[in-house]
Chains A and B, each alone.
Chain A
Amino acid sequence: MSGAVPFAELLAAALIVLGAGFALVGSWGLVRLPSLMERLHAPTKATTLGLGAMLAGSVVWFQLVKGEWTTHELLVPVFLFVTAPIAANMIAKVHLHALRSGDASAPAGPAGAPPPPPGRADWATHEAPHQGTPCDFEGDERR
C-alpha cells in the first residue's frame, strides 16, 4: 500500500499529523498546568512548533500538487517564531504586575511569587526608570 503512495504525500500527511498533535499538546498544557507561569510554556512552544510543522506539510503538499516549491507559507512560521517570545514576555509581565498589585484573582501557583531582584531594583512591570537603583541608567535623572 505504501509503495503506491508517493513519498511526498506520506511526508505531508506525517507533518500535518505531527503539527496537529503538537497543537493539541499545547492546548492540553494550557488547560492542565497549575499556574500562569507554567501555562505559558505549553502554548508558546508546543503550539508554535506544531504550526511550523503544519506549514512545512503544506509546502510539501503544494510541491506535490503543483510541482513547484512555494516559500511564502514559510513567512507565517517565521513571523510566529519572532513574535511568540515577545507575546509571552508581555503576558508574564502582566502576571507579575497582577501579583505585585495584589490582584486576588491571579494566584501565584506552586512555585510562589518570584523573588525581587537583588539590590533596590524591582521588576520593570509598572514604573519605567527607577532613580537611585541599579536600573538607573545615565540620563534618567535629566528627564
Chain B
Amino acid sequence: MLEGALAFGFAGLGLALAMNLWRLVRGPGTADRILALDTMVINVIGVIVLAGIAGGSPAAFEAALLLAMVGFVGTVAYAKFLLRGDIIE
C-alpha cells in the first residue's frame, strides 16, 4: 500500500521537476526563472521527505528544513538583486 503511494509520489515529483526545468530553460523572463527555481526547491524538499519515509530515517527532515530556509533566502536574494542592483544595502 505505502510502496505504491511512494512510487506514485516519486514519479509525480520527478515529472513536476522536469516541468519546472522546462520553465527554467524556456523563460521567457527572469522572474519566470526565479519562480521555476523556487518551485524546484519546494519539489526537492518533497523528494527528500519521501526518501526519508522510504528509508525510514527521520534525519531527512533536518535536510528538508535546511533546504526550505536556504531556498527562501536564495529566492529573495535573486529578487532583491534584480530590483535594487544589490542584495544587502
Contact = CB atoms under 8 A, between A and B. Distances in A.
- The number of chain B residues touching the other chain, given as a range, is 35 or more
B83 to A, nearest CB: 6
Nearest to A90: B79
Given A9-B2, A79-B68, A105-B27, A43 B35 contact: yes
Nearest to A50: B46
Given A20-B11, A54-B9, A55-B49, 7 more contacts: A12-B2, A24-B12, A50-B46, A75-B61, A76-B49, A80-B45, A91-B31
A125 B68 CA distance: 26
A111 interface: no
Contact of A61 (B2, B20, B23): B2
Contacts of A43: 35, 38-39, 42
Interface in B47-67: 49-50, 52-53, 56, 58, 61, 64-65
Given A27-B15, A73-B61, A91 B2 contact: no
